[in-house]
Chain A
């Protein structure tokens, strides 16, 4: 049976849902920016792990939240930079390089993090916003969260504005849609793509830090548990748009939160595997629906030059 609809449990469900969406949201935003510039980076899962470990290790060593987050973002960006060097400068296959980055991230953090397993470390707690946090239901869900969750909520509209309304966004989109036309117009295509790829890596790193510092504080091997892959599905689901990614990410958070509450209450009106598979199934459904008409295909398709190597002047 459904849990009885009392306001308190609804507020808790909302709070967990928003919190659970944070890492996926940050990683998905980063991937959207990278892909809108034309770079496919399937290394999200690896960059999440790199960020999670770096953030945890630096946090445990220094106790300084800013240093921990900086290290996480830096580690993610470094992984992305490696991907960038391979695919943007050396012309390697983007799918393969991205998969390699995912594997590398999982393996490397498994080895390097061995001594940190179960170690105590820095915890970034929820920061309730004054007054707003006391609003019923929405208050706890949106205004009593860790800092990175606020960032994830704000970045959606911010990126929507930046991609659609600023010159910076114009350059990014031009590189992803038609690199040679952008280059002919004087846009430094490779530089833009490097920048977007590293920005995406930094956001994924922060997503990882959220997991190891706020969501389930502590380090354990493979703690991202496939959230990087869900973020990639979310990019497609959102048709490469930040605002749609925000709704998609929150929906994913809700599915996760339902798993928790149902498990806690022992109630279950859908098998758990349906909830776990839902993000992937929905993405497939959206992909299939988007193919049904030419207009939809054009409006919700990937950037035209996504994944294509660009060599200036030839």
Chain B
């Protein structure tokens, strides 16, 4: 894409035009005024007409909060929005749309039972007209049959319909949240072509993403959010670099350098001699086309923590579900102590605390009885359930009113500790934990980490996480998944381990790659991307 434009035509105009939309000191806090989470902390940002702006950040960095404030879904606690220099207060998404700011959410806001033309009319006003819709789609070069129902459309078509909705409302600022997450690789270049065209027509386009290499071609400027703060703002493309971006540097900015408590409790690689192999994974491939993950091999011994890290969407969710026994692999085997894994052999803490891991509307005791033995024949042993729940509450210091508390009334951290305690009480030889600390506060994180370390004394542990710091802090080995394949295995003890994990997660080539880990992907085959120190 960069070859198709004269250099600097959009990125660095001679006399800098004023930004079409600016944020100044945007602050948003969730939860109480004292505690709670500071999702955005004094964020500044400028958006310019004619430019594609990439907003980078990990899950939970505050990207969605910021974009929700720009698109009128949230109102900031402090700070201001300026539209062409004029103060702008947005009370609703509809108000933002009237101001020319439109957003395509990760979960599309389409009425599935209606046709494309009807969805367009719903957003833009007027009676539905398939012909006018087709003309609009053609005018913007977006392939779409507006007579078909949304439920029959592919994800790519739905995304084009969402973009058309914004264009039909004459949006001048288009925000797309993780637009590539629903697309096949072949569709991504089509999307980027569209976005480039829309920007060249004088619109401002914002891409919200954590997939660093994917934006290298399309972005004119980049900003990086981490933990609610804007760490780098409106960085232009640097012409000297092959991709235009210092991808390694950006990925360091995204994930952060510091390793909280890295050396304190990290697990040593166990002595290879005495330890018994618990989990043996051979040629495991996930379901789907293309498979969510493929050709995964590894072994985990009793007393060992293996971390599987990757940026969301690179296959680790599916891998965790297969190891945890909630999904079947397409090919390959995962055996526990030589046997096929089952409920008695695997304790699984899924990512989704409310729903997969617990039934929110049932009590803690009932949730325990659901997944563990505690019933004799058809009769529930309520007493046993309560006792076990009380034990679980005591074991990890869960703050709850008692065994009769409803699961949905517990805070995220407390529910996570309860689930962990429940799974640990099974004393299964393998523990699979997925994203155990997502959304937890610092104290809860350290308690959950301590519990996982204790579990690793007796069992083999597979920790699936998107947080490299967590992986390096807990695990004896860190396997990095990129696009469904093990891109490399890192020893947390080696020098520069954190940087290496970050590079592998971003899909950058790995000069230190050691043989059997599997193919190391270079996204898009860009030679020289790994030439940076």
Contact = CB atoms under 8 A, between A and B. Distances in A.
8 contacts: A170-B118, A170-B121, A170-B122, A173-B118, A174-B122, A177-B114, A185-B123, A186-B94
Q: Which of B111, B127, B165 has the most CB of A within 10 A?
A: B111
Interface string B127-159: 110000000000000000000000100000000
A170 B127 contact: yes
Interface in B99-114: 108-114
B128 A184 contact: no
Nearest to A305: B111
Nearest to A180: B109
A177 B123 contact: no
A223 interface: no
Contacts of B123: 185-186
A170 B114 contact: yes
B287 to A, nearest CB: 20
Contacts of B518: none
A177 B111 contact: yes
A185 B109 contact: yes
A112 interface: no
Nearest to B105: A184
Interface string A172-203: 01100110111011110000000000000000
A221 B64 CA distance: 59
A173 B113 contact: yes
B111 A182 contact: yes
Contacts of A187: 122
A171 B126 CA distance: 11
A181 B128 contact: no
Chain B's interface size range is: 20 to 34
- Chain B binding surface SS class: loop
Contacts of A184: 93-94, 109
Contacts of A165: 127
B151 A298 contact: yes
B260 to A, nearest CB: 34
A311 to B, nearest CB: 14
Interface in B65-107: 73, 92-94, 97
Q: Which 8 A-B pairs have the closest CB atoms?
A: A186-B94, A181-B109, A185-B123, A184-B109, A177-B113, A178-B111, A177-B111, A185-B122
A182 B119 CA distance: 9
A166 B109 CA distance: 21
Given A174-B122, A184-B93, A186-B97, A167 B111 contact: no
A96 B113 CA distance: 27
Nearest to A167: B127
A67 interface: no
Contacts of A174: 111, 114, 118, 122
A84 interface: no
Interface of A: 165-167, 170-171, 173-174, 177-178, 180-182, 184-187, 298, 303-304, 313
Contacts of B111: 173-174, 177-178, 181-182
A182 B112 contact: no
Given A167-B121, A184-B93, A186-B97, A178 B126 contact: no
A178 B112 contact: yes
A164 to B, nearest CB: 9
A298 B126 CA distance: 27
A187 B127 CA distance: 14
A303 B127 contact: no
Contacts of A185: 94, 109, 122-123, 165
A181 B161 CA distance: 13
A304 B127 contact: no
A303 B113 contact: yes
Contacts of B94: 184-186
Contacts of B112: 177-178, 304
Contacts of A303: 113
Contacts of B151: 298
B109 A170 contact: no
B65 to A, nearest CB: 15
A226 B73 CA distance: 46
A304 B114 CA distance: 11
Interface in B162-215: 165
Given A174-B118, A304-B112, A313-B92, 6 more contacts: A167-B126, A167-B127, A181-B108, A184-B109, A185-B109, A298-B151
Given A170-B118, A170-B121, A181 B110 contact: yes
Q: Which of A173, A185, A298 has the most CB of B within 10 A?
A: A185
Contact of A178 (B97, B110, B121, B128): B110
A163 to B, nearest CB: 11
A166 B129 CA distance: 10
Contacts of B118: 170, 173-174
A298 B121 CA distance: 22
Contacts of B110: 178, 181
Contact of B113 (A171, A180, A304, A313): A304
B155 to A, nearest CB: 16
Contacts of A170: 114, 118, 121-122, 127-128
B95 to A, nearest CB: 9
Q: Which of A165, A166, A181, A303 has the most CB of B within 10 A?
A: A181
A166 B127 contact: yes
